[in-house]
Structure 1
Amino acid sequence: MTQILVIGSEGQLGNEIQKLSKDIQEASFVFTSLETLDVTDSNKLDETVRNTNYDYIINCTAYTAVDKAEEDQNLAYEINAQALEVIGLASKAINAKVIHVSTDYVFDGCNHKPYIESDTTAPQSVYGKTKLKGEQLLMEKNHNSIVIRTSWLYSSHGNNFVKTMIKLGQERDELGIIFDQIGSPTYAGDLAKSIIHMVKSDIAQSIPFIAGIYHYSNEGVASWYDFARTIHKKKGIQCALKPIESKEYPTPAPRPHYSVMNKGKIKKAYQLTIPHWEDSLEHCLAELDIKQN
């Protein structure tokens, strides 16, 4: 039976992969969380990967506190970069294939057309720099790896923009939301389905595992203001939203002003149909309603 290790299963993406794992009867999953596997413990991480003959390793863990990373540089590096070197070396030793999730923050956000995988990277934050280093270390240590860059991830699990906008919208009469940062919201459930599809296709030998870097987000483009407005509209929240510029809401870490990514490569390679972000948002909101009732 195919053996799959999922690292970081307590996060948004890992949680969605856990839900979908039941759909792969031909595979046995092992899920680790921060409590069961501290990826900053290189020896433990190496031992965990090597001790079972895994066929696939899916890494969902990351240091994602973008602003905090500016001060907490060492920990961000250990989780986002150093751990990937360990995973790369250990997975290579057991001949395992790796799928790792990265970010749009590897770009400087100065493009005016969707980024393709070969575009020049120029991260502007510690978070972006450590994530890029992790990509490089993994690909260097295990060539049989896939890196998926994604953006604006949200789900019904954990903390994210969607849940924050619902909470604040219900508590306040007015909110200022940034309108000059453009990207594509990504529902973690859709990304998880695509990752599971990639693994299942390789197991079934219908579509081979094609190593390399890919971009994945939901279809469509929005500003944070557009995203918030749509969330409130779909939830029937009556809160005045005021569009503001990034300079009116300064943060320790700079954000990409434009981080739309071209998904043509992954759609063609894996025959994927990706939903529009507004459709996926409805699915997420429906899940949240079920959890609350």
Structure 2
Amino acid sequence: MIKILVTGASGQLGQTFKDIRLEYPNLDFVFLDSKQLDITDKLSIEKGFSLSNFDFCINCAAYTNVDQAEKTPAIAYKVNGEGVKNMALACKENNVTLIHISTDYVFDGEKTGPYTIEDTPNPINEYGKSKLAGEKYIQEILDKYYIIRTSWLYSKIHGKNFYRTILQKAKNGDLIKVTDEQIGCPTDTINLSEFILELIINHSSKFGMFHYTDNKPFTWYNFAESIISYNKLDSSKLLVLDRNYRTFANRPRYSVLKTN
């Protein structure tokens, strides 16, 4: 049995791993949420790692509020930077392979073609900077790791995300204003989780950086159209293109990742 620790287990990706775990009978999971394992607390991490002789740690714990990170960056860096550093050190001490989830927001969005793992990150907001700090800590501390950058992550059944928000508004008959000024690749947590577990099962020795998305670029407006259409609702009376939509934090206008 391959033993896997999943941190941040109450988030949408962590809950997706719980949903599909029975499909992988040769994998033995321990799921810990932020109350059970706080990645900013070294003692909490030590207690979590003591529960078993883990082979892998999938770190789903993250601070993901992009606008709030701009207002209170110290909190984002504490989790996405220093917290990830703590996890990397614990993995090194316990000979555990770390699988860490990162983001397209490490890029500035100025490129006109998909970002590759060779492209130099240049985040334009505090969230992206904090996630890049976490990546660097892992690369400095560990030899055996997978950093997986993904984008526009959503679950159809878990968490608060764009997919579920749009669907609920559409079902309520609310007017939905959405911008088309950003382009990225929405990624279903089921597909990402299956990709990660296949890495584990195949014992891939190709450690390092990966890009993984569902590989179909959308604007947020196009994605909203797709969500409404997929659920057999009428978008013509609900969806409005908003070219004046602004957020507190800057976001990359183009953040399509080239899957490797």
**TM-score class, shorter:** over 0.9
Report the alpha carbon displacement of residue 236 of structure 1 after superposing the two structures with TM.
Answer: 3.0
- Which residue in 2 is equivalent to 1:169? 170
- Contact (CA 8 Å) 1:148, 1:216: kept in 2 or not? yes
Give runs of aligned pairs for residues 1-293 of structure 1, distance below 5 A.
1-49=1-49, 52-155=52-155, 156-202=157-203, 208-238=204-234, 239-245=237-243, 248-263=244-259, 265=260
Cα RMSD over matched residues? 1.5
Report the count of equivalent residues: 257
Report the alpha carbon displacement of residue 138 of structure 1 after superposing the two structures with TM.
Answer: 1.3
Supply the distance in 1 between the matched residues of 2:177 and 2:158 (Cα, whole angstroms).
25
Q: Compared with structure 1, are the counterparts of its residues 96 and 229 closer, same or farther at alpha carbon in structure 2 (3 Å cutoff)?
A: same
The residue type paired with residue 165 of structure 1 is I
Q: Compared with structure 1, are the counterparts of its residues 23 and 171 closer, same or farther at alpha carbon in structure 2 (3 Å cutoff)?
A: closer
SS at match of 2:4: strand
Report the alpha carbon displacement of residue 114 of structure 1 after superposing the two structures with TM.
Answer: 0.2
The residue type paired with residue 241 of structure 2 is P
The residue type paired with residue 127 of structure 1 is Y
Superposed CA offset, 1:177-203 (max 9, x none): 11110011100000001111111111x
Supply the distance in 1 between the matched residues of 2:191 and 2:61 (Cα, whole angstroms).
18
- Contact (CA 8 Å) 2:178, 2:240: kept in 1 or not? yes
Report the alpha carbon displacement of residue 223 of structure 1 after superposing the two structures with TM.
Answer: 0.3
Supply the distance in 2 between the matched residues of 1:234 and 1:84 (Cα, whole angstroms).
37
TM-score (norm 2): 0.94
- Contact (CA 8 Å) 2:14, 2:60: kept in 1 or not? yes
The residue type paired with residue 229 of structure 1 is E
Report the alpha carbon displacement of residue 230 of structure 1 after superposing the two structures with TM.
Answer: 1.2
- Contact (CA 8 Å) 1:17, 1:196: kept in 2 or not? no
Higher helix share: 1
Supply the distance in 1 between the matched residues of 2:14 and 2:129 (Cα, whole angstroms).
23
Q: Compared with structure 1, are the counterparts of its residues 47 and 173 closer, same or farther at alpha carbon in structure 2 (3 Å cutoff)?
A: closer
What percentage of residue pairs aligned between the two structures are identical?
Answer: 37
- Contact (CA 8 Å) 1:46, 1:87: kept in 2 or not? no
Report the alpha carbon displacement of residue 25 of structure 1 after superposing the two structures with TM.
Answer: 2.5
Supply the distance in 2 between the matched residues of 1:24 and 1:171 (Cα, whole angstroms).
38
Q: Give the gaps of 5 or more residues in structure 1.
A: 203-207, 266-293
Report the alpha carbon displacement of residue 251 of structure 1 after superposing the two structures with TM.
Answer: 1.2
- Contact (CA 8 Å) 1:109, 1:256: kept in 2 or not? yes
The residue type paired with residue 211 of structure 1 is F
- Contact (CA 8 Å) 1:147, 1:212: kept in 2 or not? yes
- Contact (CA 8 Å) 1:7, 1:33: kept in 2 or not? yes
- Contact (CA 8 Å) 1:50, 1:91: kept in 2 or not? no
